[in-house]
């Protein structure tokens, strides 16, 4: 039951019956637009690739054009297309100078690709808790995680919100560490007016279908360091010595042939993208600034409306940072809301009630990253790297209880909109429907609490 007097935001008029109790949902089926949005421009560009007959290669025209356009978009001097965002992160880590046995500090809240990219090059991910407000790594906790094995810090611009790059770069400079940015969700986000991604030594973006900048699959490596870019280019081409100068002698009529020696200089792999991916991405990139601006306006309106509800905490972007709101995470505070439920039970009943109103609502992660089995097992037979002597105590560092902010964030919040139907794809009318539905459900939270108490445990 609700505690105390009804808060001021409870509706006084007879409310409409919630859909979970048999009422009519606010949003009807079909109200959401699927993502990515494919237009005739994408179709024409992909068709031109097929007509040209050049589908791949280190000097393929669509790939080179995309790299140049995205480098300009994020104010980076160098960009390389890869087959996926995780591949871009692997390239960034290895090219920047992270080696097997090194430790890389990562946030306890992210997608698992962040620490797995570290592990894939034989390095050790070391976790740090996050800021409650943004879900980004907490710079004030980084120093305590540094050991003599630490080589790099890997901030994640969570949900499209820039991490505190000034504080992170200050720690890195003082301790002589690399900074490799996971910008998978943050195409166009800025810190102090500068796009994220190449603010550190290198960074990686994703082009996976759910991202604001989507091409099915794919990734983009960026850096401002020519030597790091050259190393990354070698890594993505089997460790061969592949330079931009080779493009001058490349015969476009023979896209699969070349004159360079097929002599691998280092361990590498095939991390390149392909021409259809690049052509599709170029069409999407051309519309990304306009779509991002509209997305940010809708996110601001949604945040303002939800922020008026007692106990509802919408996303907040700190000063000096911008967010491109790849995900829209909303937190609940039961004490402020005046309901006698744990944060997790309030979260769970809100999911049911909002989904019944036709909203897309997901958890998107449920536990801190170190709680996942791969980090709990740390089994070499599954590919986990061997920890070097003198480094972090992984049994301690991988204890999920060490990350209370991440745990609280996940237990008491939901993500509005989903991978298939993200905010960037939705209309003003659909966003207005979210506001109406959220208000309707929240004003009747007492009834939800009573209903929850009657459900089998």
Residues 116-156: pLDDT tens digits?
999 999 999 999 999 999 999 999 999 999 999 999 999 99
What is the pLDDT, as a whole number, of residue 5? 35
Residues 65-97: pLDDT tens digits?
999 999 999 999 999 999 999 999 999 999 999
Alpha-carbon distance of 232 to 121, in angstroms, equals 13
SS (H, E, C) 241-286: CCCHHHHHHCCCCCCCCCCCCCCECCCCCECECCHHHHHHHHHHHH
Confidence class for position 262, pLDDT limits 50, 70, 90: confident
Confidence class for position 269, pLDDT limits 50, 70, 90: very high
Higher pLDDT, 57 or 216: 216
CB-based contact 320:199 (threshold 8 Å)? no
Chain Cα centroid distance, residue 227: 27
What is the pLDDT, as a whole number, of residue 259? 65
Confidence class for position 9, pLDDT limits 50, 70, 90: low
For residue 315 the two structure tokens come to 């996303």
Residues 203-238: pLDDT tens digits?
999 999 999 999 999 999 999 999 999 999 999 999
Residues 176-201: pLDDT tens digits?
999 999 999 999 999 999 999 999 99
- The per-residue DSSP string of 150-212 comes to EEEE--B-GGGBPP-HHHHHHHHHHHT-EEEEE-TT-TT-EETTEESSSSSSEEEEE--TTSS
Confidence class for position 250, pLDDT limits 50, 70, 90: low
CB-based contact 231:98 (threshold 8 Å)? no
pTM: 0.94
What is the pLDDT, as a whole number, of residue 241? 84
Residues with Cβ within 8 Å of residue 457, at least 6 apart in sequence? none
Question: 3-state class of 149 per DSSP?
Answer: coil
What is the pLDDT, as a whole number, of residue 58? 85
- The residue assigned the tokens 């999407």 is 284
Please give the class, per CATH, of domain 40-285: alpha beta
Higher pLDDT, 252 or 328: 328
Alpha-carbon distance of 305 to 382, in angstroms, equals 47
For the cut 60, the answer to whether the pLDDT of residue 35 exceeds it is yes
Task: Parse the chain into domains and list their residue ranges.
Answer: 40-285
- Mean of per-residue pLDDT scores for the chain: 94
For the cut 90, the answer to whether the pLDDT of residue 298 exceeds it is yes
Residues 95-119: pLDDT tens digits?
999 999 999 999 999 999 999 999 9
């Amino acid at each position: 039951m609700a505690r105390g007097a009804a808060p001021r935001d409870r509706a006084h008029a007879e409310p409409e019956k919630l859909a979970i109790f048999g009422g009519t949902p606010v949003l009807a089926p079909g109200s959401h637009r699927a993502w990515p949005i494919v237009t005739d421009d994408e179709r024409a560009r992909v068709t031109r690739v097929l007509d040209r007959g050049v589908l791949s290669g280190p000097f393929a025209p669509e790939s080179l054009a995309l790299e140049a356009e995205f480098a300009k978009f994020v104010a980076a001097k160098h960009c390389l297309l890869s087959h996926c965002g995780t591949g871009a992160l692997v390239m960034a880590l290895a090219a920047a100078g992270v080696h097997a046995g090194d430790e890389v500090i990562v946030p306890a809240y992210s997608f698992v690709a962040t620490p797995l990219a570290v592990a894939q090059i034989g390095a050790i991910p070391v976790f740090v808790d996050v800021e409650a407000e943004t879900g980004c790594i907490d710079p004030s906790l980084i120093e305590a995680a540094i050991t003599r094995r630490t080589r790099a810090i890997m901030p994640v611009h969570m949900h499209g919100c820039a991490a505190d790059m000034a504080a992170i770069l200050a720690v890195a400079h003082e301790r002589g560490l690399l900074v490799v940015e996971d910008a998978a969700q943050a195409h166009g986000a800025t810190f102090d007016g500068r796009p994220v991604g190449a603010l550190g030594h290198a960074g990686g973006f994703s082009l996976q279908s759910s991202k604001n900048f989507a091409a099915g699959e794919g990734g983009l490596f960026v850096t401002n360091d020519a030597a790091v870019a050259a190393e990354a280019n070698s890594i993505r081409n089997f460790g061969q010595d592949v330079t931009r100068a080779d493009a001058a002698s490349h015969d476009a009529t023979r896209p699969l042939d070349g004159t360079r020696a097929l002599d691998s200089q280092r361990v590498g792999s095939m991390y390149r993208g392909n021409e259809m991916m690049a052509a599709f991405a170029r069409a999407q990139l051309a519309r990304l600034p306009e779509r991002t601006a509209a997305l940010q306006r809708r996110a601001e309106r949604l945040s303002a409306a939800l922020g008026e509800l007692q106990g509802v905490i919408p996303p907040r972007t700190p000063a000096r940072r911008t967010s491109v709101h790849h995900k829209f995470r909303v937190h609940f505070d039961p004490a402020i809301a005046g309901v006698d439920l744990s944060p997790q039970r309030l979260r769970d009943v809100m999911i049911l009630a909002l989904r019944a109103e036709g909203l897309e609502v997901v958890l998107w992660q449920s536990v801190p990253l170190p709680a996942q089995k791969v980090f709990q097992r740390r089994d070499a037979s599954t590919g986990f790297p061997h920890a070097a002597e003198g480094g972090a105590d992984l049994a301690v560092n991988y204890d999920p209880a060490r990350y209370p902010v991440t745990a609280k964030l996940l237990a008491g919040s939901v993500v509005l909109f989903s991978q298939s139907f993200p905010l960037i794809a939705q209309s003003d009318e659909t966003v207005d429907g979210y506001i109406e539905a959220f208000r309707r459900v929240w004003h009747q939270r007492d009834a939800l609490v009573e209903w929850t108490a009657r459900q089998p445990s």
